[in-house]
Amino acid sequence: MTIDRRFILVQLRDLFFFLLASLVQTYITCPVCRDYPQAYLLLWAFSFLVWVMLWKGNELLARYLSKKISWIEFPVRRAIVGTICAVGYTLISVVGLMWIFEQWLNVDFGRGYTYTIYGSVAITIIISLFMHGRAFLLHWKAALVEKEKIQNESIVAKYESLKNQVNPHFLFNNLNALTNIVYEDQEKAVKFIKQLSDVYRYVLDTRDQEVVPLKDELVFLRSYTSLQQIRFGDKLSIQISLQDEETYVAPLALQMLIENAIKHNIISEEDPLAIKVYQEDGYIVVKNNLQRKTVMGEPSSGVGLENIARRYELLTDKKMIAQEEAGAFVVKVPVLTKSPRWTS
């Protein structure tokens, strides 16, 4: 249905309502007029025009004032000005219409003159309450929709910015690791490169997704941990105890947590690093024994935990938890059981 057609249908509906309301009003207010067809017709015509002027006039007036005075910024001022203008418009239009009927059609309103004005003002107040209340609700709803749209666009932009940091971060750290392996064991380096190409394919496949199924992330995570096993051998133990459930995670979040543990802790024959990944109380937990490096062996890109925390803030109301406990460092990320809150 086009806008023009809908507008016409609305006007026809209102016209039918005015006809019906004026007929009922004329029938009730002047029983004597029923015996005088001409007087009855003039009274009905007057009532019909009053309904049209009061309803449509106040409707146009409300729209005009809403453009000049914002309901959202100045609601009290808008209500006061709207009421004053509506009453003033009613008095002028009704008195003017009565004067036309008296001068041109020789209608004598007599004692009904005052009652007509009072009644018109009362009707105007009722109409104004409806019109202004409707205008306020429409503007309030439009403001909420616009605010929600802006917030969603801002959240999407922020999330895209965060995701764009992850891919270079992932590639940078693995190429840095590969540099060390090349000098130690060329055969191991070849195996590492092949495994890295398979892993990075997943990184590219998920670059446009805000969340991924946990089962897909687990396949990638096991491939990634095999890279680290090539690199560290028995000095690193990674135990993943997650079920392939219908849940979701932020892409590469678990990988980044494991990488964070590897980067910031000593890994040696004397001090092997043990990392456990499991689910507990609505969170996926990544836990490692704490044995901090005093000197960082490789540069940091500054993404890490802060990036993951900010990404999850945009995906769920539950916060990521990072804390030390009993000689271990524990990070808990919320399990996502449905699409992010800012997607439809």
Tens digit of pLDDT for each residue in 43-70? 888 888 888 888 888 888 888 888 888 7
Q: Where in the chain is the domain with CATH 3.30.565.10?
A: 185-334
Residue 169 has what pLDDT?
61
Higher-confidence residue: 41 or 36? 41
Buried b (16+ CB within 10 A) or exposed e, 164-201: eebbebbeebbeebbeebeeeeeeebeebeebbeebee
pLDDT tens-digit readout, 133-174: 777 777 777 777 776 765 655 455 455 545 555 556 666 767
CATH number belonging to domain 185-334: 3.30.565.10
Question: Around Cβ 106, how many Cβ atoms within 10 Å?
Answer: 8
Q: How far is residue 104's CA from residue 37's CA, in Å, rounded to a whole number?
A: 18
Q: How far is residue 228's CA from residue 258's CA, in Å, rounded to a whole number?
A: 10
Three-state SS letters, 152-212: HHHHHHHHHHHHHHHHHHHHHHHHHHHHHHHHHCHHHHHHHHHHHHHHHHHHHHCCCCCCE
Average of per-residue pLDDT across 210-237: 86
Partners of 237 in beta bridges: 274
Residue 342 has what pLDDT?
45
Pick the range with the lowest mean pLDDT from 18-27, 122-131, 188-197, 332-341.
122-131
Residue 160 has what pLDDT?
53
Residue 168 has what pLDDT?
63
Bridge pairing between strands 236-241 and 273-280: parallel
Pick the range with the lowest mean pLDDT from 185-189, 213-217, 322-326.
185-189
**Residue partners of 263: CB distance under 8 A and separation at least 6:** 173, 296, 298, 300
Tell the residue number behind the tokens 């802790």, with chain if given.
Answer: 265
Residue 231 has what pLDDT?
78
Q: Residue 268: what are its φ and ψ, rounded to 5°?
A: -155, 175
